[in-house]
Structure 1
Amino acid sequence: MRAAVSSRFQREYDRGTSAWAENPAMPGKFLGNPSQSNRVTQYMVSLRRGKTRKGEEVVSAQAMDHEILERMIKYNLAFKDEPGAQGVSSISKKRKAGTPSLWAGYFLRCMLSLLYITAFLCLLRFDEALRIRWEDVRFETWKSDNGREHLRISTGILPFHLYPNYANPLLCPVRAWCYWYKLTREYLGSDAILTGYVFRRRAGNSVNFDGSIAMLPAQFLDCLRNNLCDIGVRPHAYGTHSFRRGGCQYLAVILRWTYRQICDWAGWSDNLDNPTTLFKYLLSFMDDNSLRREDYLNPLRPPTSKCPACGRSCHCA
């Protein structure tokens, strides 16, 4: 109901999507969308908490599977723009309808791939990921690792140290960050100093390279669902929280991190007043069970992916 009211005020009354607030220049006059006021927002949060306390099960977005994530990134990197379409393109709506993949060009797809990987591996909410600035990102040398470079991202919670993933280049965060840095410098000029937001607002089927304007959450969700359609995945079960949930499951199931390590990495160790939060990310009826019930104790179960460090492929590795 709130979404319907917001849409009506936005489209029919030109109220936009900004918060409802009094105009400081004209006391008594208000600007923005009334359904986005602080009072309505507080009521919606209280309503959800009250329904949860009464026993209603909270339905969250489906977790992003790492294989689906790899397919999207692979599709984006292999996408080829038409000549002269790397900037803000003027492709007609009729042509976009006939060619669905034209919803995004190569620049936008590369930026989205970086956003996916960062939110997935760092367990970030979409609003936290969209607020990352170039000033928060820098390369550091790990002295105890023979001078190996890694990436340090400060998000306001805890710094995240990301290393190259040579075993799986599609999920390599350092490779994705370096490539987007290179593309941005090529567009703005080799002598440009990158400042402002990393993930910038969508402009048509490309990116607005104005660093003072971050990508909108609604644009991110729209791009994500279009990207899922590109690879033939139904998008309606996925949302902006899918990467945080999928990242938790990836660290627990694929990389076999302990729950304590996941909480430390995400910055949840200092606030464990609701210990069920982590388990909501790990377990949900929305997610597919990758293991058949008859295979739990099956000694002839096919092996899992081989570990690049120890070479083991057994399920107890």
Structure 2
Amino acid sequence: MSAFNDFLVEESIIQPGTNIFTVQKLDPNIDYYIVGFIMKQCDDIDMHGISRGPNNAQKSYSNATKLRAGTTYGFRKSGRRGKVPWSRATALGNPSISDLVSSYMLGLHKRKVTKGETSTSARAIGPDTLRRLYEHNHKPENWNNEHLSQGNWCGGNTRRLLQAVYLIAFTCLLRIDEVLNLQAHEVDVYDNKDDIGCMSITLPFRKNAPVGGIPPFVLQELPEQMAHLCPVRAFSAWISASRINKGNLFPNIDKRDRPKAEVFLQLFQNNLWNLDIIPYPYGTHSFRRGGCQWFACELRWSIRQICEWGGWSTDFSHLTIVKYLISANDTPTLRRDEFFKLDRQVVKCMTCGRTCPCA
């Protein structure tokens, strides 16, 4: 945190000895200075547009996320500004949690990857985290909330939208853009012959099928104990509240267009802050990766079955699916001292009912 103070002193924005994190009345442009702070160490130009030159080594994108996390923590703990997104109009909230900083970080990541920096996979989101999000969003003060406030960054309908997008992307292994682009005529909700709620999603095209011909994703309502993972329940709740029956299923706030991926990412990160989870390792791909791992590790689907469902090639010479199943950025399944602890307690499998470690 002291590094950000030193940067502001160097730029003549604050006086020496001032701790920006405890200042009560902040400059409305403070989020711009956070971007400048990150640019100075991790970008090829500074916030004044001056090139840093080839001899000044740039730090990695991973380091940039740590710098941002440090400022977020500083304003949250020392400044008691919480996890509410920054508002320039009122100068309230946490400046590090702003649309400007989020947009810059997305652009920086793309530039780093283009220049050859190894891309770090978004951390997979697991069923336990989805359960926590479900339980938090369904609290009456959140689910039934119609007004924004300093302590509540969105209304109940936004939480319904998020729940539906989370679980459709997670269970259908879709890219976030594919979910946000869904139109009303592409989703069919119905009861099957056993009177079980179902929904069918038919994409008009996607990256690996630009001319269409994509098999539908047919989903059934999951049991009550798996409600936090059920896209049928989540989508029905969203449609019941929004009453959308044509056009974009997930419109933006102005209701004239779909929300952009970066807007969704900011909302998702805000939701993670509600759970005191640092959101920066997560991205829009977290749901696709998490769903893939859920199918493989908990539902015990074969790799071929996952590929068929998700629309990946079953030509296993490239094994693109491996990057969805395994990443060093994911939360470890076991501590290092637990691998050879053969009598460790295990969780009962919801599918087969076994409790042995191989279940």
Decide: shared fold, TM above 0.5: yes
Query: Residue 269 of structure 2: which of 221, 225, 237 is its match?
Result: 225
Corresponding residue SS for 1:238? coil
> TM-score under structure 1 normalisation?
0.69
Amino acid in structure 1 at the alignment position of 2:250: F
Aligned to 1:62: 123
Equivalent-residue separation in structure 1 for 2:352 and 2:299 (angstroms) = 13
Query: Residue 188 of structure 2: which of 121, 134, 138 is its match?
Result: 138
Aligned to 1:314: 356
C-alpha displacement of 1:301: 2.3
For structure 2, the 5+ residue unaligned runs are 1-38, 50-106, 205-213
Distance 1:8 1:177, change over 3 A: farther
C-alpha displacement of 1:68: 1.1
Aligned to 2:167: 117
C-alpha displacement of 1:284: 0.9
Equivalent-residue separation in structure 2 for 1:218 and 1:117 (angstroms) = 18
Distance 1:50 1:274, change over 3 A: farther
C-alpha displacement of 1:70: 1.4
Amino acid in structure 2 at the alignment position of 1:160: F
C-alpha displacement of 1:81: 5.7
1:193-208 equivalences under 5 Å are 194-202=245-253, 208=254
Amino acid in structure 2 at the alignment position of 1:221: L
Do residues 155 (structure 1) and 203 (structure 2) align? yes
What is the count of residue pairs matched by the alignment? Answer: 249
CA-to-aligned-CA distance 1:88-107 (integer Å, 9 cap, x gap): x5x5xxx62xx2xx211111
For structure 1, the 5+ residue unaligned runs are 10-40, 186-192, 203-207
Amino acid in structure 2 at the alignment position of 1:171: L
Aligned to 2:293: 249
CA-to-aligned-CA distance 1:184-210 (integer Å, 9 cap, x gap): 23xxxxxxx6111111113xxxxx4x3
1:11-90 equivalences under 5 Å are 48=113, 51=116, 57-80=118-141, 86=146
CA-to-aligned-CA distance 1:177-233 (integer Å, 9 cap, x gap): 221121123xxxxxxx6111111113xxxxx4x3x5111111101101100001110
Distance 1:296 1:199, change over 3 A: same
Amino acid in structure 2 at the alignment position of 1:311: G
Runs of 4 or more consecutive aligned structure 1 residues displaced over 6 Å after TM superposition = none
Equivalent-residue separation in structure 2 for 1:310 and 1:245 (angstroms) = 23
Relative contact order (C-alpha < 8 Å, sep 6+): which is higher? 1
Amino acid in structure 2 at the alignment position of 1:305: K
Distance 1:133 1:232, change over 3 A: same
C-alpha displacement of 1:295: 3.7
Equivalent-residue separation in structure 1 for 2:48 and 2:140 (angstroms) = 36
C-alpha displacement of 1:148: 3.5
Corresponding residue SS for 2:130? helix
1:158-237 equivalences under 5 Å are 158-166=215-223, 167-185=225-243, 194-202=245-253, 208=254, 210=255, 212-237=256-281
Amino acid in structure 1 at the alignment position of 2:296: A
Tell which deviates more after alignment, 225-234 or 261-270: 261-270
